[in-house]
């Protein structure tokens, strides 16, 4: 299981991996809507997409908006606006081979 989200945190995709750890959003007051912001590292060479699951440890699916995957590339700041998923993680479309990638994540309850 991942970390219960209570505010700013980091997500890491390890060298040789494709997924970050998951962040449990269910403890965010019974899945109220949240808005999240991910900051991609300046060393990112891979394409990253956001994946969500209905509950921690559940089956992940790519988050889409307007028919396109929500994700980011080198140095991007990506907003995930007003979601009520149970868990979230980052997924690299290719296996990392040049070191871990660390992403900062902040957010707040959506209004």
Q: Report the chain (111 residues): mean pLDDT per 10 consecutive residues.
A: 60 90 75 80 86 93 91 85 87 80 83 65
- Note whether 63 and 21 are within 8 A (CB): no
Query: Cβ neighbours of residue 92 under 8 Å, at least 6 residues apart?
Result: 13, 17, 18, 19, 46, 47, 48, 101
| pLDDT number for residue 7 | 64
At residue 80, the pLDDT reads: 85
Give 7-23 pLDDT, tens digit per residue.
668 899 988 889 999 98
Q: According to the model, what pLDDT value does residue 1 have?
A: 45
> What was the pLDDT predicted at 6?
58
The pTM assigned to this predicted structure is 0.84
**What's the pLDDT score for residue 108?**
77
| CATH architecture, domain 3-106 | Sandwich (2.60)
């Amino acid at each position: 299981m991942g970390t219960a989200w209570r505010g700013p945190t980091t997500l890491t995709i390890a060298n040789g991996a494709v997924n970050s750890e998951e962040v449990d959003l269910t403890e965010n007051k019974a899945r109220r809507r949240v808005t999240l912001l991910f900051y991609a590292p300046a060393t990112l060479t891979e394409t990253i997409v956001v994946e969500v699951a209905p509950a921690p440890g559940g089956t992940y699916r790519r988050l889409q908006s307007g028919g396109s995957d929500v994700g980011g590339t080198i140095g991007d700041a990506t907003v995930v606006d007003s979601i009520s998923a149970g868990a979230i993680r980052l997924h690299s479309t290719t296996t990392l081979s040049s070191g871990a990638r660390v992403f900062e994540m902040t957010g707040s309850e959506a209004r």
